[in-house]
Structure 1
């Protein structure tokens, strides 16, 4: 059962991701039946996108099988668009699952951030660096 901080209909009225037809809030790259891909409004890198279910749902774990499949398919499609347009060397893909993980909008959105050699001094460990004490040199046996 989906979790909501408020009534789902009320949340949809104020949620920026539920207002996906509003071009002032969302610049859509590609749209599916149950999900869509949007350009991030505050990109961490050129080409930063988000894959979002159209249904107001907070948790990745509350996705329907259809939403999950479509997200996977749109993620691959978006990767092809970003590869052609921006030529990244890699991608960081992630979900801030819950407020404790850094989620600021209570509607599931999966980030895909193009990455480039040299965009950070030492990318080893990737998303592990969201927590303190993640020294890649300490991982060497």
Structure 2
């Protein structure tokens, strides 16, 4: 078994005389998910507990909350307050329904298991923000650009975040997304890459690839973001994901076409001092073959003469 889900479900069915509703099984699985407890602990401290403390209803000592004046309440008063709370809960549910949980499900459609697997595989099973392992903390598939701010359901817009980083993301990201819709459509009318007519090899929502017009070797390919930006350092994480995904496809296609390819030089020229001639970020994928130069040792170190061998 690859997860605790299966034994938890079997156990629940056995304890329920062989039959249980899917919601009952889900509740059982949820009871083992500490990341959900961690989420509501944060809600308790940062929202609920703070409000009740400000109204002098509860007090907090370290990780424990105490209802003030509880010892002065009679059993009848306790029962009356419980009933009042239940009434308020039902009134609120009747008024708002599932909308009260929109912060946990806004604009979301289920992410398939295969896509989730790809995202976690790409992240090597670690949170892409803090680096914690999936063995230490549950990882979630997060939209880099939030759905409610125009982010799309795309492998390029997904990242693996642990629960804590995902929950804190809203508080730490102060990017102004009001112009987001047009951001990735930014073009430069003077840029030959923005205005060129290229025969695209591969394409996704944020990038595309094409053969270099002045190839260093056969099948020398360029991968560029659709948005006009100057250098590698201007790329967003979503664009990096998009370019990385295309690089894998380009590599596989080249190897399938030419079995003599034994390696690749991959890289960016950033700024004029580093040899950049087109002011639109582009990644070179240069196939290498045994014997194409007398001594390939050092690879890209040879951009400065005499520094390749060490």
Identify whether the pair has TM-score above 0.5, normalized to the shorter chain. Answer: yes
Contact 2:207 2:225 in 1 (8 A): yes
1:95 pairs, out of 268, 272, 281, with 268
Tell me how far 1:68 sits from its aligned partner: 0.6
Query: Gaps spanning 5+ residues in structure 2: where?
Result: 1-184
Aligned to 1:4: none
d(CA) in 1 for partners of 2:308 and 2:284? Answer: 24
Contact 1:15 1:107 in 2 (8 A): yes
Matched, 1:31 2:203: yes
1:86 pairs, out of 246, 258, 264, with 258
Cα gap change, 1:131 to 1:53, in 2 (>3 Å): same
Tell me how far 1:53 sits from its aligned partner: 0.3
Matched, 1:75 2:251: no
Matched, 1:12 2:192: no
Q: TM-score, normalised by structure 1?
A: 0.83
Contact 1:50 1:109 in 2 (8 A): yes
Aligned to 1:6: none
Contact 1:47 1:86 in 2 (8 A): no
Tell me how far 1:61 sits from its aligned partner: 1.2
2:290 pairs, out of 117, 125, 130, with 117
Which structure's relative contact order is higher, taking Cα pairs within 8 Å and 6+ residues apart? 1
RMSD: 1.7
The ranges of structure 1 where at least 4 consecutive aligned residues each deviate by more than 2 angstroms after the TM superposition are none
Larger CA Rg, structure 1 vs 2: 2
Query: Gaps spanning 5+ residues in structure 1: where?
Result: 1-8
d(CA) in 2 for partners of 1:80 and 1:10? Answer: 30
Residue correspondences, number: 125
Greater fraction of residues in helix? 2
**For 1:95-140, what per-residue CA distance to the aligned partner results, in whole angstroms no more than 9, with x for missing partners?**
111100000000000000000000000000011111133252xx2x
